Structure 1
Amino acid sequence: MARRNDQRRAALVDAAIEVLAREGARGLTFRAVDTEGAVPNGTASNYFANRDDLLTQAGARVYERLQPDEATITRHREARRDRETYVELMRELVGRVSSFRTGYLALLELRLEATRRPALREVLTERVRADVEANVSYHLASGLPGDATAVKLLYLALNWLIVEQLTLPEVLTEEERDVLVRAAVERIVAAE
């Protein structure tokens, strides 16, 4: 029974992500989540203490779904340790994050909502900080060129590139995006 409840909770949180991406934080209601999740009215309110709980769990779930799969991690571990590999890793990252369009748009909504909700801000701050630290640690252990500052600068630059692509997709073509990813790596990561 607990497994079924965990699956239902995850499905409801995924439904909340879809509602956030489509309707924004103001449109996130228990009823909207029930409708999106195709469950009876009142179901979401049985799984989440309040709207803040739902927002917080949606924020955590987006990050879970953005993690690379094992095949991607293995491919990264086995790749060469040069700037060209770094470019390919960053292209893959931008593509993976961009392919979860609703998740990233929901995350933007959550970040805006976090400016008004301290509990959500705390969860997102902890999660983003942990993600940045994990990326820096992974990078330093990987043997790829560049230091912690380069990782953080690429994180900032590529996040905005993703925002641009998801919110105003006609501003940059896919080819321009690829050129910008390469330029970011080449300009931020010092040559060996």
Structure 2
Amino acid sequence: MVRRNDQRRSELLDAAIEVLAQEGARGLTFRAVDKEAGVPAGTASNYFANRDQLLTQSGSRVYERLVPDEATVAAQEPIAPSSEKFHGLMTDLIGRLTSFRSGYLALLELRLESTRRPELRAVLTERVRADIAYNVAHHEQSGLPGDATSVKLLILALNWLIVEQLTLPEVFDEEERRHLVSEAVRRIVGE
């Protein structure tokens, strides 16, 4: 039996994320993952039973990598809840998401692929719902302005701003993106 270790599995999934971002879902093959990871041919197929499993676990891995560490979360806790603090948190969030460009692009590819793969759709739906519920609960506990609907509207608006920044970065310059984040927070939260 082939010895499988968690570190190698993570490395292969990280390679799959890069392949998804560079080549799209159709380019995600075991051979492409092996090449990206710099491992012998056939390694990925020892860790993943089939391409569907590779796609599904790649989606989970992106989310693992997007979760901020405890220090980042603690630094974001508002001392005095305000719309300015809220704006800062949203700006930091966009920065964190766009700094993992390949992960976000891989998620877009996985979302498109999920329209054809029910198992992948189920995994992504569960994860996105959990993230939204966490963000709403965290927001309500923080005392920041706005309600659950405000949080959901900001998620929707800022996700598309991130897509623009990663796919067509010349549409808005950095100053305009900051202004749009500020206005989204101000108009949606109402302060």
By the TM > 0.5 criterion, same fold? yes
Give the distance between the partners of 1:73 and 1:79, measured in 2 at CA: 13
Moved more, 106-115 or 78-87: 78-87
Where do 4+ consecutive residues of structure 1 move more than 3 Å? none
Shift in Å, 1:72: 1.5
Question: Any stretches of 5+ residues in structure 2 without a counterpart?
Answer: none
Equivalence for 1:134: 134
Q: Give 1:23's aligned amino acid.
A: E
Shift in Å, 1:20: 0.1
- How many residue pairs were aligned? 190
Shift in Å, 1:79: 3.2
Equivalence for 1:44: 44
Give the distance between the partners of 1:4 and 1:48, measured in 2 at CA: 10
Aligned residues with identical type, % of pairs = 71
For residues 101-149 of structure 1, give each alpha carbon's deviation from its aligned partner in whole angstroms, at most 9, with x where no partner exists. 0000000000000000000000000000000000001000111110000
Equivalence for 1:105: 105
Shift in Å, 1:152: 0.1
Normalised by the length of structure 2, the TM-score is 0.97
Q: Give 1:182's aligned amino acid.
A: S
Q: Give 2:9's aligned amino acid.
A: R
Q: Give 1:114's aligned amino acid.
A: S
For residues 141-181 of structure 1, give each alpha carbon's deviation from its aligned partner in whole angstroms, at most 9, with x where no partner exists. 11111000000000000000000000000110011000000
Shift in Å, 1:69: 2.0
Equivalence for 2:162: 162
Equivalence for 1:185: 185
Equivalence for 1:71: 71
Equivalence for 2:87: 87
For residues 39-79 of structure 1, give each alpha carbon's deviation from its aligned partner in whole angstroms, at most 9, with x where no partner exists. 00000000001000000000011111111122211111253
Q: Give 1:93's aligned amino acid.
A: L
Moved more, 64-73 or 80-89: 64-73
Give the distance between the partners of 2:75 and 2:99, measured in 1 at CA: 19
